[in-house]
Structure 1
Amino acid sequence: MLRFLARAGHHLKTTATTAFFGPQILAFVPALTLGGYWFGGEGLLLFMAIFVPAVMGLVGLFTPVRTPPARASKNVDAVTGLPLKPALLATLDGAFCAEPKHGVRTGALVLEIDEFEAFRATYGAEAAEHVLAQLAERICSTLRQGDVACRLEHSVFAVALAPVRRLDLEAMIQVAARLQQAVGTPIVIGGMRLFLSASVGFCLPRRASERTGQVCVEAAEAALRDAQASGTGAIRAYAAQSPRKRVKRAGLAEEVADALEVGHVRPWFQPQISTDTGAISGMEALARWEHPERGVILPGAFLPAISASGLSKRLGEVILFQSLTALRDWEAAGEHVPNVAVNFSHEELADPSLTDRVRWELDRFDMAPDRLVVEILETVISRSENDTITRNVTRLHDLGCGIDLDDFGTGHASIANIRRFSVGRIKIDRSFVTRIDTDREQQSVLTAILEMAERLEIETLAEGVETVGEHALLAQLGCGYVQGFSIARPMPFAETVDWMRLHRQRMADRPRIAREAG
C-alpha cells in the first residue's frame, strides 16, 4: 500500500511539474503580458516581456525536449526491416515439429537479385539500399500470413513458408515465380525505369538430408547456385544428386589458369542481325569455361578469379585468337560473317602494347581490321581518366576496327566521351529493352536514345531481345541491329554453321520486318 501511494505521489508531482513548467505554459505568455500591461502599464509590460522569458530559460523550458533514442532492434535487418535468419529457422523448425502430429508441410526458398553488385557499382550504395528496401516490401506482399521472409546477406533473401496441408513441387515453383514477378516490376531510379531479375532456389524438406531449418535453407542455397549457373532468372529445386555447376572460389585461380592453357576456356558466339534485312551482321564472342566435370561455367563464376590472378590479359589473348580463328573457319565453310565483336577489359585497354598485339593478330590471319569490333563497357569510358586507354581506343579505330559501346545507359557516358572514344555503335542495355512492346515509358526512353544516336550518326544495337514483339517494335523504332535469346542463345563454334544455314532458310520463308515509314 505504501509503495502504491509513493508511486501515485511521484506521478502527481511529475504531472504538476509538466503542467506548470512544460512547453504548454507558452500558451499563457500572451495573457500574462497583456495582464501586466492592463494592471501596471507599459513599465510592467516591459518587465514581463524580459522577466518571463528569462525565468523560462532558467528552468530549461526552451531546451529542446530530448526523447530517448529508439533502441535499434537486434531482431530485424537495418536496411529492409525484415526479420533476421533466426526467425526464419524457427518457423521451419516449428513446422517440422508439427508435421507428424498435424500432417502439415513447409519449404524454404532463397533468391538473389541478378547482377546486383554491378547495379550497386553503377548507381551507388544509397540507391542500392533503397532498392533492397523496396524489394523487401514487394517480397512480403506476395507471401501469405505466417510466411516469413528475411535478408540473408547482400542481395540474398530467404522465405520460409508457413505450414500447409499440401506442398509439392508445382506449388513451390508457383511461389518462386510470384517472387520473381515481384522483383521484376520496374523500379524508378533517378527518373529511369530499371528492370531487375532474380534467380531462385528452393528445397522441399523431404529432399534435404535432415529435417531442420538450417539444413533446409542450406539446400535451398545450393539450388540457388545451380540456378545461377544456368543464367539469370532461373529457378531450380534442390536434389541431392544435382550437379553443382558453380565453382567454389577456393583453388579456382590455379584451375582456371590451367583451363586457359589447355583450351577449356573458349568463346561461344551469339548472333547479331539487321532489323532491316534479317541478315547476320556479326557475332559476339562470349567467354565460357567448358569444364570437363562441372559442365559449362558462365563468366560470372570465374571472371573474378581471372582478374584477381592477373590473367585478364591472357584471357583476352585467348578469346581474340579463337574469335579470329572462327572468322577464318566460317569462310572456309562457305558462311560469311561480317565481323566478330570481342569484349576488351579495363586491364587490356590500359596495356600500352594492345594496339600492336591486335595488329599482329590481324596480320597473322590476313584479316581486314574492320572484321574485328572492339567492345568497351560504358562504365570504362565514363569513369576513365587513363590516357593510355584513350590512345589505345583511338589507335584501334584508326587501324580500322569498329568500336562498340557496351551496356549503354548504365554508366552515364557523356556525349563528349562518346566522341572522344570514336564510338561507332552503341549497344543499348537490356534494361531499356525489356518489355518495350508493352511498356509505354520504356518506349519513350528508347525512342529518345535512338533519336540521340541518329543525330550523332551512331549505329544502334539492342541487347537482350527476348520476344518477337520486342524485336518487331525495335525495328519499327529504327534500331539498326538486335541481339538476344529471341534470335539465338550463345552457342559453341561447332553449332554456329548449322544455325546460320537454318536462319538463312527461315529468312527466305518469312516476310521481312519493315520499319515504320519516316
Structure 2
Amino acid sequence: MDQTRQIDALTEEWLDRVRWIARQHYKVTDACFTLVGSDQQWCRNSDGSVSTDIPNALSPNHHTLRHNELFVIEDASLHPEFASHPQVVGSPHWRFYAGVPVRDIEGSCIGTLCLLHTSPIPARTLDFEMLHVLAHQIEDEIGRYLLTQRPPGLTPDQIDTLTGLPDRGLLQKLMKEELALARQSQGNLSVCLINLDGFKSINESHGNAAGNAVLQVIAERLRDAVRRKDVVTYLGGDEFAIILRDVLKPAISQRILDQIRMPVQTEEHVHSLTASMGITCYPDDEADADALLHHAYQAMYSAKESGKNGYCYFDLKLHHFRRERLATARKVRLALSQQQLELFYQPKIDYHFDTVTAFEGLLRWRLPSGKILPPGCFLPQIEHTWLDIEIGKYVIDKAVTAIEEIMRRGLPYSVSVNVNPSSFLDSGFVDHLHRTLSHHDRNFVERLTLEILESTSPQEDMEAIAANIQTCLRLGLQLSLDDFGTGQSSLSYLRTFPTQKVKIDRSFVMGMLDNPEDEAIVAAIIGLSKSFNRQSIAEGVENGSIEAHLKDLGCDIGQGFYYSPALPFDEALQWAENYQRRH
C-alpha cells in the first residue's frame, strides 16, 4: 500500500500515545488507526501493526471514507451490513464502532481513526469532538513528514535560508499549481498576504540580528497556525504569504493574527508585533495566480489604511468599480483633449420682469457617434481627482467664452457654472481662475456666477476655501449656493460664503404641490434668502402650477423643463430671443 510509506515517520510510540488518549477519554476497549487501500487495510491497534485482506463491503472504515464523515455503529450485531463481519461474529466480537476520516496533505481521505468496544454504546452518550481533534493531529504529523521531503525539482535556492520557508519565486510556481488544482476539483483557494506592522522599528532600534530572530519565530508560528497541507511562504522584508485550500474563515484569520501578536522573546528584548493581512478567495475572485497575489496585496493595504492590526478581504465589487472608474477617467481625459466636452445652456427666468436673465452652463459629453452623455455618466468617476480640477478649469474657460459672445451680441445674460468648493484648495485652479478673470473688466466678471456645491471637506479646509473664494469675489464674480437645503451644512455655507444667490434644490420644488413639508421648506428658504438679502432661484420648475406658486411665495428666479432643457449655445440664445418676443 502506498499510504504505508507516509506512515514511516509516525513512530509506533507516537501512534500508540494517540490511541491511548482516545481509549482513556472514551473508555473503550480499543482505538485503531487504519490506512485503507483498494483491497487491503493497514491497522495499528492493541495487537500492533497488521495488514488484512478484508473486502471493502465488509469494512466499516471503507464506509467512513466513502461518506467522508463520522460513522457510528451502536451495536454491530444488529447492523444489516456488518452483523456478519468476521470481527463481529468472531474474536474480538466488536459491537460498537465510531470512526472519523483521516486525510493526507492533498485533502484526500486515506484512513480512519476509530473507537471499538465489545459492548454496545448509545451514540448520544458520547461527544466525538476529541476524536476529530486526535484525527487532525495524525493529519498534521503526516503533513509534517511530507513537508520535510524535498519535492521533485525543488532546488535549495528556492527555500529562504533564514525562515526555512519557500521564497517568492517558489510562491509563484505553487500559486499556479494550487490554482490549477482548485479549478480542476472545483474547490476553493485562499491567498493571504501578511505584512508585519512596526517590524522596521525593530531592525532600526535593535539591529538586524534581532529582526532576523523575530522573523524566524513568526515563520514558525505561521506554520503552526495553519494546516500542514496549507503553504506558508516568506516574501522577504516583513512580508509572508499563505495559500490555503479552503475559504479562509474569520476565526482562522484571527488565529493567524493572534499568533503574531504574542510577544517575541529574543536574547535581550521582548518584542511586540501586530500584522495587517489581506485575503482574496478563489473562485469568487476568478483571476490568475499573479492577479490573486496582487489582489491580496490590495486587501492588505486596505487593512493598513483601516488602522493596521487586522485583516481585510479583497472587495471584488470595489475592484470592479475602481477599474471602471479608471477606464472612464482615461476616456474623459481623451475627450477633454479632443474637445468632446461642451456646455449646454438652460435658461433662468426672472419672475419679476418675466424675462430671461441668465443661463446655467451644464456639462455634456458629445461622443463621436453623436450621442450626448449627461454629467452623471462620467463626473462621479473622476470626482476628487486631478482630472476633476482640469475639467473645472475647462468649464470656466467655456463659460467665459460664452459670456464674451453674449456681450459681443449686445445681450444682457449672465452665465453660471457648478464648482466643487474643494477646487479652491487647488492652487492651479485658483491661479487659472485669477488669470482668466484678470483679462476682463468688472462688468464682464459680474456676469459669471459660480454655483457652489456642498462639500464634505473638514472645517480647516473650509476656512481656506472661503479665503480663496473671497479673493476671487474681489474681482467681481458672483456666488450661488447650489442645491440648498439638501445637506447638513447649508446654513453654515450661507454664513461662511458671501453669496448673492441661493438655489433651492429641485426635489423640494417638484414636490411642493403635493407635499406640505416640501412647500414649507421652499417657503422657508425663500424667506431666509430675503432675510440675508440673497436672490432665490428655484430649479425643477416642471409646470405652470409650480411657477405660479413660486411667484406667490416671492421667489425671484425659476429654472426647469417647463421653460426649456439645456441646449447648445446658439439654440439656447435663439430660444431666449423667442421667449422675449412672446413676453
TM range (shorter): 0.3 to 0.5
TM (normalized to structure 2)? 0.42
Structure showing greater Rg: 2
Q: Quick one: higher RCO (CA 8 Å, sep 6+), 1 or 2?
A: 1
TM (normalized to structure 1)? 0.47
Give the structure with the larger strand fraction. Answer: 2
